[in-house]
Structure 1
Amino acid sequence: MRYASQHLNKSSHAVATATDTPRPRIRTWIDRGGEPDCVRGLETAREYGWLEADYDNPEFTALNTLVANVFSGGSITATNYQPSFALNHRGEESHVIDAIELAGVDYQVVDGREGRADEARPTEDASVLGRVLAVLGAPVGPKTDTRLSLPDYLEGAPDDVRETFVYSYLENRAIEHDGKATLTVREDRNRDYLESLAALIDDVAGGGVRFSERDIVVSADATRALGTVR
Protein backbone atom coordinates (compact mmCIF):
# COMPACT_ATOMS: atom_id res chain seq x y z
CA MET A 1 0.00 0.00 0.00
CA ARG A 2 2.92 2.31 0.69
CA TYR A 3 4.33 1.63 -2.79
CA ALA A 4 0.92 2.01 -4.42
CA SER A 5 0.34 5.37 -2.71
CA GLN A 6 3.59 6.62 -4.25
CA HIS A 7 2.75 5.24 -7.71
CA LEU A 8 -0.94 6.00 -8.13
CA ASN A 9 -1.06 5.16 -11.83
CA LYS A 10 0.31 1.64 -11.51
CA SER A 11 -2.06 -1.33 -11.77
CA SER A 12 -2.14 -4.16 -9.26
CA HIS A 13 -0.15 -6.26 -11.73
CA ALA A 14 2.56 -3.59 -11.91
CA VAL A 15 2.60 -3.16 -8.13
CA ALA A 16 2.88 -6.93 -7.68
CA THR A 17 5.80 -7.09 -10.09
CA ALA A 18 7.59 -4.13 -8.52
CA THR A 19 7.21 -5.42 -4.97
CA ASP A 20 7.73 -9.10 -5.86
CA THR A 21 4.37 -9.93 -4.24
CA PRO A 22 1.78 -12.41 -5.59
CA ARG A 23 -0.94 -10.42 -7.33
CA PRO A 24 -3.90 -12.23 -5.66
CA ARG A 25 -2.52 -11.17 -2.30
CA ILE A 26 -2.74 -7.46 -3.09
CA ARG A 27 -5.52 -7.28 -5.70
CA THR A 28 -8.31 -6.67 -3.18
CA TRP A 29 -6.30 -3.85 -1.63
CA ILE A 30 -5.43 -2.12 -4.93
CA ASP A 31 -8.21 -2.86 -7.43
CA ARG A 32 -11.14 -2.66 -5.02
CA GLY A 33 -9.77 0.19 -2.97
CA GLY A 34 -10.70 -1.59 0.21
CA GLU A 35 -9.63 -4.45 2.43
CA PRO A 36 -9.71 -8.23 2.06
CA ASP A 37 -12.51 -10.00 3.90
CA CYS A 38 -10.11 -11.41 6.49
CA VAL A 39 -8.91 -7.92 7.43
CA ARG A 40 -12.47 -6.62 7.69
CA GLY A 41 -13.27 -9.61 9.90
CA LEU A 42 -10.35 -8.86 12.20
CA GLU A 43 -11.37 -5.23 12.49
CA THR A 44 -14.95 -6.26 13.24
CA ALA A 45 -13.78 -8.62 15.99
CA ARG A 46 -11.61 -5.84 17.41
CA GLU A 47 -14.56 -3.42 17.46
CA TYR A 48 -16.57 -5.90 19.54
CA GLY A 49 -13.67 -6.14 21.99
CA TRP A 50 -13.16 -9.85 21.30
CA LEU A 51 -9.50 -9.74 20.26
CA GLU A 52 -8.11 -8.09 23.37
CA ALA A 53 -10.49 -9.52 25.98
CA ASP A 54 -8.87 -10.67 29.23
CA TYR A 55 -10.29 -13.28 31.59
CA ASP A 56 -12.01 -10.61 33.69
CA ASN A 57 -13.63 -8.72 30.79
CA PRO A 58 -17.37 -9.11 30.11
CA GLU A 59 -16.51 -9.79 26.47
CA PHE A 60 -14.53 -12.86 27.51
CA THR A 61 -17.32 -14.00 29.84
CA ALA A 62 -19.63 -13.97 26.83
CA LEU A 63 -17.15 -15.81 24.60
CA ASN A 64 -16.37 -18.42 27.27
CA THR A 65 -20.08 -19.12 27.75
CA LEU A 66 -20.65 -19.41 24.02
CA VAL A 67 -17.69 -21.79 23.60
CA ALA A 68 -19.18 -24.01 26.32
CA ASN A 69 -22.51 -23.91 24.52
CA VAL A 70 -20.98 -24.99 21.21
CA PHE A 71 -19.59 -28.05 23.01
CA SER A 72 -22.78 -28.84 24.92
CA GLY A 73 -25.66 -27.68 22.76
CA GLY A 74 -24.61 -25.82 19.65
CA SER A 75 -22.56 -25.96 16.48
CA ILE A 76 -20.39 -23.99 14.09
CA THR A 77 -20.79 -24.81 10.40
CA ALA A 78 -17.62 -25.89 8.62
CA THR A 79 -18.49 -24.03 5.43
CA ASN A 80 -18.97 -20.47 6.69
CA TYR A 81 -18.42 -20.61 10.47
CA GLN A 82 -22.02 -19.72 11.27
CA PRO A 83 -22.72 -20.55 14.94
CA SER A 84 -26.04 -21.66 16.40
CA PHE A 85 -26.96 -22.45 19.99
CA ALA A 86 -29.69 -24.80 21.15
CA LEU A 87 -31.96 -23.44 23.86
CA ASN A 88 -32.21 -25.67 26.91
CA HIS A 89 -35.25 -26.44 29.07
CA ARG A 90 -35.54 -22.76 30.01
CA GLY A 91 -36.39 -21.83 26.44
CA GLU A 92 -35.78 -18.17 25.71
CA GLU A 93 -34.71 -17.75 29.33
CA SER A 94 -31.66 -19.92 28.59
CA HIS A 95 -28.35 -18.50 29.74
CA VAL A 96 -27.04 -18.58 26.17
CA ILE A 97 -29.38 -15.72 25.26
CA ASP A 98 -27.71 -13.58 27.93
CA ALA A 99 -24.29 -14.56 26.55
CA ILE A 100 -25.20 -13.59 22.98
CA GLU A 101 -26.53 -10.25 24.17
CA LEU A 102 -23.41 -9.71 26.27
CA ALA A 103 -21.30 -10.43 23.17
CA GLY A 104 -23.13 -7.54 21.52
CA VAL A 105 -24.52 -9.23 18.39
CA ASP A 106 -28.09 -9.38 17.13
CA TYR A 107 -29.77 -12.78 16.94
CA GLN A 108 -32.99 -14.57 16.13
CA VAL A 109 -34.64 -17.61 17.70
CA VAL A 110 -35.43 -20.31 15.16
CA ASP A 111 -38.03 -23.00 15.83
CA GLY A 112 -36.61 -26.49 16.10
CA ARG A 113 -37.57 -29.07 13.51
CA GLU A 114 -38.30 -32.77 13.86
CA GLY A 115 -38.23 -32.67 17.65
CA ARG A 116 -35.02 -30.65 17.86
CA ALA A 117 -34.64 -27.79 20.32
CA ASP A 118 -35.20 -24.19 19.28
CA GLU A 119 -31.99 -22.40 18.40
CA ALA A 120 -30.58 -18.92 18.85
CA ARG A 121 -28.63 -17.83 15.79
CA PRO A 122 -26.60 -14.62 15.54
CA THR A 123 -27.73 -12.54 12.57
CA GLU A 124 -25.03 -9.88 12.68
CA ASP A 125 -21.33 -10.65 12.07
CA ALA A 126 -22.14 -14.30 12.75
CA SER A 127 -19.21 -15.77 10.80
CA VAL A 128 -16.77 -13.45 12.61
CA LEU A 129 -18.11 -14.62 15.96
CA GLY A 130 -17.92 -18.24 14.82
CA ARG A 131 -14.27 -17.86 13.84
CA VAL A 132 -13.41 -16.22 17.18
CA LEU A 133 -15.08 -19.11 19.04
CA ALA A 134 -13.19 -21.60 16.86
CA VAL A 135 -9.88 -19.92 17.66
CA LEU A 136 -10.74 -20.21 21.35
CA GLY A 137 -11.18 -23.96 20.90
CA ALA A 138 -14.83 -24.52 20.01
CA PRO A 139 -15.32 -27.45 17.60
CA VAL A 140 -16.22 -26.73 13.98
CA GLY A 141 -18.48 -29.04 11.98
CA PRO A 142 -20.32 -32.14 13.24
CA LYS A 143 -19.07 -33.01 16.73
CA THR A 144 -19.79 -36.72 16.22
CA ASP A 145 -17.09 -36.75 13.53
CA THR A 146 -14.56 -34.76 15.55
CA ARG A 147 -12.06 -35.80 18.21
CA LEU A 148 -12.85 -33.24 20.87
CA SER A 149 -10.66 -31.67 23.51
CA LEU A 150 -11.38 -28.94 26.03
CA PRO A 151 -10.20 -25.41 25.18
CA ASP A 152 -6.60 -24.72 26.15
CA TYR A 153 -7.53 -21.45 27.85
CA LEU A 154 -9.29 -23.35 30.65
CA GLU A 155 -5.94 -24.69 31.83
CA GLY A 156 -4.83 -22.30 34.54
CA ALA A 157 -7.85 -20.02 34.06
CA PRO A 158 -9.34 -18.25 37.10
CA ASP A 159 -11.93 -20.18 39.07
CA ASP A 160 -14.84 -18.07 37.85
CA VAL A 161 -13.96 -18.77 34.21
CA ARG A 162 -13.88 -22.51 34.81
CA GLU A 163 -17.10 -22.30 36.85
CA THR A 164 -18.90 -20.42 34.08
CA PHE A 165 -17.84 -23.04 31.54
CA VAL A 166 -19.07 -25.88 33.79
CA TYR A 167 -22.30 -24.04 34.60
CA SER A 168 -23.07 -23.54 30.93
CA TYR A 169 -22.26 -27.14 30.10
CA LEU A 170 -24.40 -28.66 32.86
CA GLU A 171 -27.34 -26.38 32.12
CA ASN A 172 -27.48 -27.92 28.66
CA ARG A 173 -26.40 -31.52 29.23
CA ALA A 174 -26.99 -32.58 32.85
CA ILE A 175 -29.77 -35.15 33.35
CA GLU A 176 -31.66 -34.94 36.62
CA HIS A 177 -33.13 -38.02 38.33
CA ASP A 178 -36.42 -38.16 40.20
CA GLY A 179 -35.89 -38.50 43.93
CA LYS A 180 -32.13 -38.12 43.60
CA ALA A 181 -29.80 -35.15 43.82
CA THR A 182 -27.25 -36.68 41.47
CA LEU A 183 -26.71 -35.47 37.92
CA THR A 184 -25.57 -37.43 34.88
CA VAL A 185 -23.95 -36.22 31.67
CA ARG A 186 -24.18 -38.79 28.88
CA GLU A 187 -22.59 -38.09 25.51
CA ASP A 188 -21.20 -40.12 22.64
CA ARG A 189 -17.78 -38.49 22.53
CA ASN A 190 -14.17 -39.66 22.56
CA ARG A 191 -13.18 -41.05 25.96
CA ASP A 192 -10.24 -38.76 26.69
CA TYR A 193 -12.49 -35.74 26.17
CA LEU A 194 -15.11 -37.09 28.57
CA GLU A 195 -12.43 -37.89 31.13
CA SER A 196 -11.02 -34.37 30.95
CA LEU A 197 -14.52 -32.90 31.17
CA ALA A 198 -15.25 -35.02 34.27
CA ALA A 199 -11.98 -33.85 35.82
CA LEU A 200 -12.90 -30.21 35.15
CA ILE A 201 -16.35 -30.60 36.74
CA ASP A 202 -14.78 -32.46 39.67
CA ASP A 203 -12.27 -29.65 40.20
CA VAL A 204 -14.97 -26.97 40.12
CA ALA A 205 -17.23 -28.98 42.47
CA GLY A 206 -14.42 -29.79 44.87
CA GLY A 207 -14.73 -33.55 44.34
CA GLY A 208 -17.52 -36.07 44.02
CA VAL A 209 -17.54 -36.44 40.23
CA ARG A 210 -16.61 -39.68 38.46
CA PHE A 211 -16.49 -40.99 34.92
CA SER A 212 -17.98 -44.41 34.22
CA GLU A 213 -18.03 -45.87 30.71
CA ARG A 214 -19.59 -42.96 28.81
CA ASP A 215 -21.37 -41.31 31.76
CA ILE A 216 -20.15 -38.48 33.94
CA VAL A 217 -21.84 -38.89 37.32
CA VAL A 218 -22.07 -35.88 39.62
CA SER A 219 -22.75 -36.99 43.18
CA ALA A 220 -25.35 -35.37 45.44
CA ASP A 221 -22.63 -33.58 47.41
CA ALA A 222 -21.00 -32.31 44.23
CA THR A 223 -24.39 -31.22 42.88
CA ARG A 224 -25.01 -29.20 46.04
CA ALA A 225 -21.53 -27.69 45.80
CA LEU A 226 -22.25 -26.73 42.21
CA GLY A 227 -25.38 -24.93 43.35
CA THR A 228 -23.39 -21.69 43.30
CA VAL A 229 -22.70 -22.09 39.59
CA ARG A 230 -25.63 -24.13 38.33
Structure 2
Amino acid sequence: MDWDTPVVDERDLARTYDGGAYSDPWAAVLDYQAVMQYASQHPDKGSYAISNALELPRGRVRGWTDGGKPDAARGIEVARDYGWLDATMQDGTFLALNTLVANVFSGGSIATETFTPSFALNHRDHRSHVIDALDGVGVEHEFYHEDDDSRATEVRPTAAGSVLGRTLAVLGAPVGPKARLEDFTLPWYLDEAPFEVRELFVLAYLANRAIHQRTKETVQIQEERDKSYRDELAALIEDVAKEPVTSGERMVTISADAARSLGLQPRYRTPTGTTEPSE
Protein backbone atom coordinates (compact mmCIF):
# COMPACT_ATOMS: atom_id res chain seq x y z
CA MET A 1 0.00 0.00 0.00
CA ASP A 2 1.20 3.50 -0.86
CA TRP A 3 1.48 5.36 2.44
CA ASP A 4 0.44 8.60 0.71
CA THR A 5 -2.84 7.11 -0.53
CA PRO A 6 -6.04 7.61 1.51
CA VAL A 7 -6.80 4.45 3.47
CA VAL A 8 -10.60 4.59 3.82
CA ASP A 9 -12.43 3.87 0.55
CA GLU A 10 -15.75 5.69 0.20
CA ARG A 11 -17.21 2.68 -1.60
CA ASP A 12 -16.53 0.50 1.44
CA LEU A 13 -18.04 3.15 3.69
CA ALA A 14 -21.17 3.31 1.51
CA ARG A 15 -21.58 -0.45 1.77
CA THR A 16 -21.97 -0.29 5.54
CA TYR A 17 -25.41 1.26 4.90
CA ASP A 18 -28.74 -0.24 3.92
CA GLY A 19 -29.19 0.47 0.23
CA GLY A 20 -32.99 0.39 0.34
CA ALA A 21 -34.13 -0.24 -3.22
CA TYR A 22 -30.50 -0.83 -4.20
CA SER A 23 -28.79 -4.14 -3.55
CA ASP A 24 -25.50 -2.23 -3.58
CA PRO A 25 -25.61 1.04 -1.59
CA TRP A 26 -22.68 2.35 -3.62
CA ALA A 27 -24.89 2.22 -6.74
CA ALA A 28 -27.34 4.52 -4.94
CA VAL A 29 -24.52 6.99 -4.31
CA LEU A 30 -23.50 6.93 -7.98
CA ASP A 31 -27.09 7.50 -9.14
CA TYR A 32 -27.52 10.33 -6.66
CA GLN A 33 -24.32 11.97 -7.85
CA ALA A 34 -25.42 11.59 -11.49
CA VAL A 35 -28.79 13.21 -10.74
CA MET A 36 -27.24 16.13 -8.90
CA GLN A 37 -24.66 16.68 -11.63
CA TYR A 38 -27.31 16.57 -14.37
CA ALA A 39 -29.55 18.96 -12.41
CA SER A 40 -26.70 21.44 -11.93
CA GLN A 41 -25.87 21.34 -15.64
CA HIS A 42 -29.54 21.64 -16.68
CA PRO A 43 -31.13 23.96 -14.12
CA ASP A 44 -34.24 24.36 -16.28
CA LYS A 45 -35.01 20.63 -16.25
CA GLY A 46 -37.48 19.17 -13.78
CA SER A 47 -37.60 15.74 -12.19
CA TYR A 48 -39.56 14.26 -15.12
CA ALA A 49 -36.93 15.28 -17.66
CA ILE A 50 -34.08 14.18 -15.42
CA SER A 51 -35.64 10.79 -14.74
CA ASN A 52 -36.14 10.24 -18.49
CA ALA A 53 -32.60 11.32 -19.31
CA LEU A 54 -31.01 9.10 -16.67
CA GLU A 55 -33.59 6.30 -16.78
CA LEU A 56 -34.33 6.50 -13.09
CA PRO A 57 -37.70 6.43 -11.28
CA ARG A 58 -39.19 9.91 -11.16
CA GLY A 59 -40.13 9.64 -7.49
CA ARG A 60 -36.54 8.89 -6.57
CA VAL A 61 -35.23 11.76 -8.66
CA ARG A 62 -37.78 14.18 -7.23
CA GLY A 63 -36.82 13.25 -3.67
CA TRP A 64 -33.18 13.89 -4.37
CA THR A 65 -33.69 17.18 -6.22
CA ASP A 66 -35.92 18.33 -3.34
CA GLY A 67 -33.08 17.93 -0.87
CA GLY A 68 -33.12 14.25 0.05
CA LYS A 69 -30.17 11.95 -0.41
CA PRO A 70 -29.25 8.32 0.21
CA ASP A 71 -27.95 7.60 3.70
CA ALA A 72 -24.72 6.34 2.20
CA ALA A 73 -24.19 9.60 0.29
CA ARG A 74 -24.82 11.59 3.46
CA GLY A 75 -22.36 9.43 5.40
CA ILE A 76 -19.69 9.92 2.76
CA GLU A 77 -20.14 13.69 2.91
CA VAL A 78 -19.80 13.68 6.71
CA ALA A 79 -16.67 11.51 6.61
CA ARG A 80 -15.14 13.77 3.98
CA ASP A 81 -15.96 16.89 5.99
CA TYR A 82 -14.09 15.45 8.97
CA GLY A 83 -11.11 14.52 6.79
CA TRP A 84 -11.41 10.77 7.37
CA LEU A 85 -11.65 9.90 3.66
CA ASP A 86 -8.54 11.92 2.81
CA ALA A 87 -6.39 10.59 5.66
CA THR A 88 -3.23 8.73 4.68
CA MET A 89 -1.06 6.45 6.79
CA GLN A 90 1.16 9.40 7.69
CA ASP A 91 -1.57 11.85 8.71
CA GLY A 92 -2.36 12.74 12.30
CA THR A 93 -6.03 12.10 11.53
CA PHE A 94 -5.30 8.53 10.49
CA LEU A 95 -3.11 7.94 13.53
CA ALA A 96 -6.09 8.97 15.65
CA LEU A 97 -8.40 6.64 13.69
CA ASN A 98 -5.85 3.85 14.12
CA THR A 99 -5.82 4.47 17.88
CA LEU A 100 -9.62 4.27 17.99
CA VAL A 101 -9.57 1.01 16.05
CA ALA A 102 -7.14 -0.40 18.63
CA ASN A 103 -9.48 0.75 21.38
CA VAL A 104 -12.45 -1.04 19.82
CA PHE A 105 -10.40 -4.24 19.94
CA SER A 106 -9.07 -3.73 23.45
CA GLY A 107 -11.69 -1.76 25.35
CA GLY A 108 -14.63 -0.67 23.26
CA SER A 109 -17.41 -1.71 20.92
CA ILE A 110 -19.42 -0.64 17.90
CA ALA A 111 -23.20 -1.04 18.16
CA THR A 112 -24.63 -3.45 15.62
CA GLU A 113 -27.67 -1.37 14.65
CA THR A 114 -26.42 2.22 14.94
CA PHE A 115 -22.66 1.72 14.40
CA THR A 116 -22.05 4.20 17.23
CA PRO A 117 -18.79 3.37 19.03
CA SER A 118 -18.24 3.50 22.77
CA PHE A 119 -14.95 3.20 24.63
CA ALA A 120 -14.30 2.18 28.22
CA LEU A 121 -11.77 4.39 29.95
CA ASN A 122 -8.72 2.53 31.23
CA HIS A 123 -7.10 2.91 34.67
CA ARG A 124 -6.06 6.47 33.81
CA ASP A 125 -9.76 7.37 33.80
CA HIS A 126 -10.36 10.81 32.24
CA ARG A 127 -6.71 10.97 31.15
CA SER A 128 -7.09 7.86 28.99
CA HIS A 129 -5.49 8.22 25.57
CA VAL A 130 -8.77 7.42 23.80
CA ILE A 131 -10.00 10.92 24.67
CA ASP A 132 -7.06 12.45 22.81
CA ALA A 133 -7.82 10.15 19.87
CA LEU A 134 -11.45 11.36 19.72
CA ASP A 135 -10.15 14.93 19.74
CA GLY A 136 -7.73 13.90 16.98
CA VAL A 137 -10.56 12.84 14.66
CA GLY A 138 -12.45 16.04 15.44
CA VAL A 139 -15.55 14.74 17.23
CA GLU A 140 -17.10 15.97 20.45
CA HIS A 141 -17.83 13.39 23.12
CA GLU A 142 -19.56 12.73 26.41
CA PHE A 143 -18.91 10.44 29.38
CA TYR A 144 -21.35 7.81 30.60
CA HIS A 145 -21.71 5.79 33.85
CA GLU A 146 -19.38 8.14 35.74
CA ASP A 147 -21.41 7.70 38.93
CA ASP A 148 -22.00 3.97 38.57
CA ASP A 149 -19.45 2.02 40.61
CA SER A 150 -20.55 -1.24 39.01
CA ARG A 151 -19.69 -0.17 35.47
CA ALA A 152 -16.63 1.27 33.78
CA THR A 153 -16.88 4.87 32.68
CA GLU A 154 -17.35 5.09 28.92
CA VAL A 155 -16.80 7.86 26.41
CA ARG A 156 -18.88 8.15 23.24
CA PRO A 157 -18.96 10.64 20.36
CA THR A 158 -21.88 13.04 20.41
CA ALA A 159 -21.54 14.11 16.77
CA ALA A 160 -21.07 11.95 13.68
CA GLY A 161 -20.89 8.88 15.90
CA SER A 162 -22.51 6.50 13.42
CA VAL A 163 -20.27 7.64 10.56
CA LEU A 164 -17.19 7.36 12.78
CA GLY A 165 -18.17 3.83 13.77
CA ARG A 166 -18.68 2.88 10.14
CA THR A 167 -15.28 4.36 9.27
CA LEU A 168 -13.65 2.29 12.01
CA ALA A 169 -15.49 -0.78 10.73
CA VAL A 170 -14.11 -0.20 7.22
CA LEU A 171 -10.66 -0.18 8.81
CA GLY A 172 -11.32 -3.59 10.33
CA ALA A 173 -12.78 -2.81 13.75
CA PRO A 174 -15.30 -5.47 14.84
CA VAL A 175 -18.99 -4.54 14.91
CA GLY A 176 -21.29 -6.00 17.55
CA PRO A 177 -20.49 -8.18 20.58
CA LYS A 178 -16.95 -9.41 19.99
CA ALA A 179 -17.66 -12.67 21.83
CA ARG A 180 -20.07 -13.67 19.06
CA LEU A 181 -17.82 -12.86 16.14
CA GLU A 182 -16.08 -15.55 14.14
CA ASP A 183 -12.91 -15.12 12.10
CA PHE A 184 -11.78 -12.41 14.50
CA THR A 185 -8.61 -10.89 13.06
CA LEU A 186 -6.52 -7.77 13.44
CA PRO A 187 -7.11 -4.84 11.04
CA TRP A 188 -6.13 -5.51 7.46
CA TYR A 189 -4.14 -2.30 7.02
CA LEU A 190 -1.57 -3.20 9.70
CA ASP A 191 0.16 -5.67 7.36
CA GLU A 192 1.51 -2.89 5.15
CA ALA A 193 1.43 0.01 7.60
CA PRO A 194 4.54 2.00 8.55
CA PHE A 195 6.17 1.16 11.87
CA GLU A 196 4.67 4.21 13.60
CA VAL A 197 1.13 3.01 12.87
CA ARG A 198 1.83 -0.54 14.05
CA GLU A 199 3.59 0.68 17.17
CA LEU A 200 0.78 3.08 18.06
CA PHE A 201 -1.81 0.32 17.62
CA VAL A 202 0.15 -1.97 19.95
CA LEU A 203 0.71 0.69 22.60
CA ALA A 204 -2.96 1.72 22.55
CA TYR A 205 -4.00 -1.92 22.86
CA LEU A 206 -1.62 -2.53 25.77
CA ALA A 207 -2.64 0.66 27.56
CA ASN A 208 -6.07 -0.95 27.96
CA ARG A 209 -5.24 -4.63 28.35
CA ALA A 210 -1.73 -5.06 29.77
CA ILE A 211 -1.65 -7.01 33.05
CA HIS A 212 1.34 -6.13 35.25
CA GLN A 213 2.39 -8.26 38.22
CA ARG A 214 4.27 -7.21 41.34
CA THR A 215 6.76 -10.07 41.22
CA LYS A 216 7.43 -10.32 37.47
CA GLU A 217 8.73 -8.05 34.75
CA THR A 218 6.79 -9.87 32.07
CA VAL A 219 3.45 -8.40 30.98
CA GLN A 220 0.41 -10.38 29.92
CA ILE A 221 -2.81 -9.88 28.00
CA GLN A 222 -5.74 -12.09 28.86
CA GLU A 223 -7.36 -12.99 25.56
CA GLU A 224 -9.91 -15.76 25.31
CA ARG A 225 -10.51 -15.58 21.60
CA ASP A 226 -9.30 -18.25 19.18
CA LYS A 227 -5.65 -19.25 19.31
CA SER A 228 -5.22 -17.95 15.77
CA TYR A 229 -6.04 -14.46 17.03
CA ARG A 230 -3.70 -14.76 20.02
CA ASP A 231 -0.95 -15.91 17.66
CA GLU A 232 -1.62 -12.98 15.34
CA LEU A 233 -1.61 -10.49 18.21
CA ALA A 234 1.59 -11.93 19.68
CA ALA A 235 3.31 -11.76 16.29
CA LEU A 236 2.36 -8.10 15.87
CA ILE A 237 3.62 -7.14 19.32
CA GLU A 238 6.84 -9.09 18.81
CA ASP A 239 7.41 -7.42 15.44
CA VAL A 240 7.08 -3.99 17.07
CA ALA A 241 9.09 -4.83 20.19
CA LYS A 242 11.79 -6.85 18.37
CA GLU A 243 11.85 -9.08 21.45
CA PRO A 244 10.06 -12.34 22.31
CA VAL A 245 6.28 -12.42 22.74
CA THR A 246 4.43 -15.73 23.05
CA SER A 247 0.82 -16.87 22.92
CA GLY A 248 -0.58 -19.55 25.15
CA GLU A 249 -3.83 -20.75 26.64
CA ARG A 250 -5.97 -17.60 27.02
CA MET A 251 -2.87 -15.43 27.40
CA VAL A 252 -0.35 -13.47 25.37
CA THR A 253 2.90 -13.07 27.33
CA ILE A 254 5.25 -10.18 26.63
CA SER A 255 8.76 -10.96 27.80
CA ALA A 256 10.59 -8.59 30.12
CA ASP A 257 12.88 -7.57 27.24
CA ALA A 258 9.87 -6.86 25.00
CA ALA A 259 8.16 -4.89 27.76
CA ARG A 260 11.27 -2.75 28.20
CA SER A 261 11.58 -2.30 24.44
CA LEU A 262 7.98 -1.07 24.28
CA GLY A 263 8.60 1.29 27.19
CA LEU A 264 5.84 -0.26 29.28
CA GLN A 265 5.80 1.21 32.77
CA PRO A 266 5.21 -1.24 35.62
CA ARG A 267 2.32 -0.03 37.71
CA TYR A 268 3.75 -1.21 40.99
CA ARG A 269 6.91 0.88 41.19
CA THR A 270 7.94 4.39 40.30
CA PRO A 271 8.28 4.56 36.49
CA THR A 272 11.69 5.50 35.13
CA GLY A 273 10.59 6.59 31.65
CA THR A 274 7.66 7.50 29.48
CA THR A 275 5.99 6.13 26.37
CA GLU A 276 3.25 7.23 23.95
CA PRO A 277 0.38 6.76 24.43
CA SER A 278 1.20 6.57 28.14
CA GLU A 279 -0.63 4.09 30.29
TM-based fold match above 0.5: yes
- Give the equivalent residue in structure 2 for 1:74: 108
- Give the equivalent residue in structure 2 for 1:224: 260
CA positional deviation for 1:54 = 0.9
- Give the equivalent residue in structure 2 for 1:20: 55
Q: Does the 8 Å contact 1:209/1:222 carry over to 2?
A: yes
Tell me, yes or no, if structure 1 residue 141 matches structure 2 residue 176.
yes
Q: CA 1:25–1:199 in structure 2 vs 1: closer, same or farther (change >3 Å)? A: farther
User: 162, 177, 180: which is aligned to 2:213?
Assistant: 177
Q: Does the 8 Å contact 1:194/1:211 carry over to 2?
A: yes
User: 124, 145, 149: which is aligned to 1:90?
Assistant: 124
Tell me, yes or no, if structure 1 residue 192 matches structure 2 residue 228.
yes
- Listed one character per residue, the Cα deviations across residues 25-61 of structure 1 (whole Å, up to 9, x for unaligned) are 545413x324322212111111111101111101001
Q: Does the 8 Å contact 1:144/1:188 carry over to 2?
A: no
Q: CA 1:181–1:24 in structure 2 vs 1: closer, same or farther (change >3 Å)? A: farther
CA positional deviation for 1:193 = 1.3
Structure 2 distance, partners of 1:118, 1:24, is 47
Q: CA 1:4–1:159 in structure 2 vs 1: closer, same or farther (change >3 Å)? A: closer
Q: Gaps spanning 5+ residues in structure 1: where?
A: none
C-alpha RMSD of matched pairs (Å): 2.0
CA positional deviation for 1:167 = 0.2
- Listed one character per residue, the Cα deviations across residues 89-124 of structure 1 (whole Å, up to 9, x for unaligned) are 000000101100111100001116572311010001
Q: Does the 8 Å contact 2:119/2:130 carry over to 1?
A: yes
CA positional deviation for 1:17 = 5.3
Tell me, yes or no, if structure 1 residue 158 matches structure 2 residue 194.
yes
SS of the aligned residue for 2:143 comes to strand
Tell me, yes or no, if structure 1 residue 56 matches structure 2 residue 90.
yes
- The residue type paired with residue 188 of structure 2 is D
- Give the equivalent residue in structure 1 for 2:29: none
CA positional deviation for 1:181 = 1.2
Structure 1 distance, partners of 2:72, 2:161, is 14
SS of the aligned residue for 1:79 comes to coil
Tell me, yes or no, if structure 1 residue 118 matches structure 2 residue 153.
yes
Structure 2 distance, partners of 1:118, 1:27, is 46
- The residue type paired with residue 54 of structure 2 is T
Q: Does the 8 Å contact 2:47/2:62 carry over to 1?
A: no
- Give the equivalent residue in structure 1 for 2:77: 43
Structure 2 distance, partners of 1:103, 1:153, is 18
CA positional deviation for 1:153 = 0.6
- The residue type paired with residue 203 of structure 1 is D
SS of the aligned residue for 2:192 comes to coil
Q: Gaps spanning 5+ residues in structure 2: where?
A: 1-34, 264-274
Q: Does the 8 Å contact 2:84/2:94 carry over to 1?
A: yes
Q: TM-score, normalised by structure 2?
A: 0.76
Q: TM-score, normalised by structure 1?
A: 0.91
SS of the aligned residue for 1:182 comes to strand
Structure 2 distance, partners of 1:165, 1:155, is 12
Tell me, yes or no, if structure 1 residue 106 matches structure 2 residue 134.
no
Structure 2 distance, partners of 1:164, 1:136, is 15
Taking only the aligned residue pairs, the percentage that are identical comes to 53
- The residue type paired with residue 101 of structure 2 is V
CA positional deviation for 1:125 = 0.6
Q: Does the 8 Å contact 2:79/2:85 carry over to 1?
A: yes
SS of the aligned residue for 2:206 comes to helix
The count of aligned residue pairs is 228
Q: Does the 8 Å contact 1:186/1:216 carry over to 2?
A: yes
